[in-house]
Structure formats: C-alpha cells, structure tokens
Amino acid sequence: MISKKTKYAINALVHLTKRKDEGPILISEIAEQENIPQKFLEAILLDLKKAGILSSKKGKGGGYYLLKEPDEVNLADVMRLFDGPIALLPCVSYLYYERCEECKDEETCGQRDVFLEVRNKTVDLLKKATLTEIIAREDKLAGKKK
Amino acid sequence: MISKKTKYAINALVHLTKRKDEGPILISEIAEQENIPQKFLEAILLDLKKAGILSSKKGKGGGYYLLKEPDEVNLADVMRLFDGPIALLPCVSYLYYERCEECKDEETCGQRDVFLEVRNKTVDLLKKATLTEIIAREDKLAGKKK
DNA sequence: TACTTAGTCTATCAACTTTATAGACTATTG
DNA sequence: CAATAGTCTATAAAGTTGATAGACTAAGTA
C-alpha cells in the first residue's frame, strides 16, 4: 500500500494542475477541497517544492503552483519521493538497491526473478501516468459515467 | 516492499518443494539452511499450515511437508496471507476493498484508475509464479550462469 | 509407563514508521 | 508596520514489524 502522504501528494498535484492558470493556490484551499489535514499537507507541499516539482510564494496573494510541466511529473517519481522504492524486494530496486541478508545466491534466486518482473512492469505503468495523463483519464471516466 | 515474513515464507516453501520426496523436514533445518530465525519461522510455517498449504508431523521423524501441489501454490496467495492486499490503494483491492475517506468520487478518480491497472498486472504476474515455476526459473538462471 | 523429540501456543518487546498536531518563526505585500 | 501565508522544529499517539522466551502438547520409542 502507498502511504497517505503519497496519496495526498497526488491529489494536491492534480488539483494544482487543474488550476494552473489561476496563479498561486492557498494551502488551506487545497486542504479543504481535497480533504487533507492542513498541517500534514504543508509538509507534503514543502517536500514537493524541495524536489523541484512545485514552487511557492509567500505573503498576500501567495500560495503554491506547479513548477514543472504537468506532463513531466509522473507517479513513479512522486511515489519514490514519499515512499521510497517501488520494488517489492530490496534486491530488485534500482535506486534503493540492497542485498537480502538471508539470500544464498542473488543471481539464481527465483523469487528475485519474479519480483524483478513485477517491478519493471509497475515502474513502466507508473512512469506513463503523468499529471496530464491522469486528468485525461478522469475526463474519460466522467464521460462514460453520464 | 513485502515483509520479511513473506520473503521467508517463500524461501521455506521453495525449500520444501525441492525436498518434497524426503518426508517431513525439520523447522530447525529449514531455519539453518535458509538463514531464517527459527522462532520466527515457526510462526510462519504455522500460518502456512492453517492456510492449508503445508502440513506437519510431531514427534521423532516429524517436521513440515507440502500439502498442496507445488503448481497450486502461487506468490499472490502467499503475499496476501502475510501482507494482506496486493493493491497499492485500498479502493482497488478486490479482497480487502475499502473506500478512501478523502476521495470525492471513486468512479471518476484518475489516480484510482492508474493503480487499478498496476494491481491487475501485478496480480496477474504473481498468480503465474507458482512454486514449480519459481524452481524452473532458478534452473534456467543457474544454466545461464555457467 | 517414561522419555525424548518436535511442533504449538501465549506473551512480551524493542525499534521503527506513519499520521498528525502545536507553535514559533520568516518573508512578502500593501 | 500590520496582515498574510509559507517554513521550521518538536512532539506524540498509534500501529506495524521482526524477533525472543518459555511453557505446553502430541507423537513416537524403549
């Protein structure tokens, strides 16, 4: 399961993408409309800023806004930022690789081979899921609904 | 990441599969050869027994052995047993479904749509990974190695 | 029957992570 | 200089994970 942090981060990013022509958006507004505890959201947005995805303005008329283009931000990056590795085993993670202590031979480990496949497919799907693409999905789903 | 419990369980199951013609295998033997803390392994094997995957015999000449056929045990089932849902969001889990409190409309949620795809692909890959298939992978990897 | 073997059950625990809250601080705008 | 709004630090409750200890029970064997 992904953490609430990641889930909240994605919702906040989608929110900011939809309103990206309105200038800076207040934390309090995002918190209220997306049902996220405000203080918790503050920390999340700060992390997204440090990661170069968002930027902010202080004082009156301030708030947060997208720094990267919506098609340059994908769920794989967001997940890694808050939850760390996407891989289900440390030994198949590319960015957070770690050997399994109990493993006898990594090269011939069948379990590892399975989870390597799962990781590759998952990263593949999550990389394709950009903010732009997520909103396109929503539009499509909303169309089907009515 | 999967828990050590799941990882240990898979290693123990593969171990028992390889030696399934030898009769009951001691917990202590599996623990030693697979580098698993014995007391921890005891609990794991007990869970696998309760799930109908293993059976055991007490007293001298006792130990654990496979009850199901190796091609009837897959990693999706083992993961669910120890780690619960495979899905990354509660709202896309089939067996452990739960609504996201903060969600405004599940039917048109783009985030959900992405994680539904990830879940489906992951379950698909893990269902195919039976004990038989894992050992076949190991043989193949060992062949390539030399 | 008594002894040994080996799985089973219950309780406990330290360490860590997650989710969240409170409050002081700093920069910007008007 | 006062109001606004993001930033930083600390704290904490709750839950999960990985592990250990010890008593108990069932099965085989002499």
Work out the percent of chain A whose per-residue pLDDT is above 90: 93
Asked if residue B62 and residue B26 are part of one domain, the reply reads yes
Two tokens, residue A127: 């990389």
Per-residue flag: B49 CB under 7 A of strand C: yes
A139 inside domain: no
Of A66, A84, A104, the one marking the end of a domain is A66
Q: Cβ–Cβ of B141/A14 closer than 8 Å?
A: no
Asked if residue A15 and residue A44 are part of one domain, the reply reads yes
pLDDT of residue A144: 75
Q: Average pLDDT, whole number, for chain A? A: 95
* Residues on chain B touching A8 (C-beta within 8 angstroms): 102
Residues of chain B with pLDDT below 70 are 145-146
**CB under 8 Å to A104, separation ≥6 — which residues?**
B34, B35
Q: Write out the E strands in B16-74.
A: 54-57, 63-66
Q: Is B45 helix (H, G, I), strand (E, B) or coil?
A: helix
CA–CA separation, B73 vs A11, rounded Å?
Answer: 38
Asked if residue B78 and residue B56 are part of one domain, the reply reads no
Asked if residue B58 and residue B105 are part of one domain, the reply reads no
Angle at A2 (CA atoms; ends A50, B114), nearest 5 degrees: 95
Asked if residue A34 and residue A57 are part of one domain, the reply reads yes
Asked if residue A60 and residue A104 are part of one domain, the reply reads no
pLDDT at A143 over 90: no
pLDDT at A109 over 80: yes
CA–CA separation, B110 vs B98, rounded Å?
Answer: 17
Angle at B80 (CA atoms; ends B57, B134), nearest 5 degrees: 70
Q: Cβ–Cβ of A108/B142 closer than 8 Å?
A: yes
Asked if residue A96 and residue A44 are part of one domain, the reply reads no
Asked if residue B15 and residue B41 are part of one domain, the reply reads yes
CA–CA separation, B66 vs B64, rounded Å?
Answer: 7
Distance, CA of B4 to C1' of D13, in Å? 26
Signed CA dihedral, A16, A19, A23, A28: sign only: negative
Range of the domain at B27: 4-66
Asked if residue A78 and residue A47 are part of one domain, the reply reads no
Q: How far is CA B143 from CA A16, A115, B16, B17, in A?
A: 52, 20, 22, 20
Provide the domain count of chain B.
2
pLDDT digits (tens, 9 = 90+) for A20-72: 999 999 999 999 999 999 999 999 999 999 999 999 999 989 999 999 999 99
Distance, CA of A53 to C1' of D9, in Å? 24
pLDDT of residue B144: 74
B61 inside domain: yes
Q: Is B40 helix (H, G, I), strand (E, B) or coil?
A: helix
The partner residue sitting opposite B114, judged by closest CB among A8, A35, A129, is A129
Asked if residue A62 and residue A13 are part of one domain, the reply reads yes
Of A21, A47, A66, the one marking the end of a domain is A66
* Residues on chain B touching A143 (C-beta within 8 angstroms): none
Q: Cβ–Cβ of B138/A110 closer than 8 Å?
A: yes
Per-residue flag: A46 CB under 7 A of strand D: yes
A146 inside domain: no
pLDDT digits (tens, 9 = 90+) for A65-102: 999 999 999 999 999 999 999 999 999 998 999 999 99
Query: Any alpha helices (H) in A35-83, and if so which ranges?
Result: 38-50, 75-83
Place of tokens 């405000």: A38
Two tokens, residue B137: 């992978």
A88 inside domain: yes
Write the CATH number for A39.
1.10.10.10
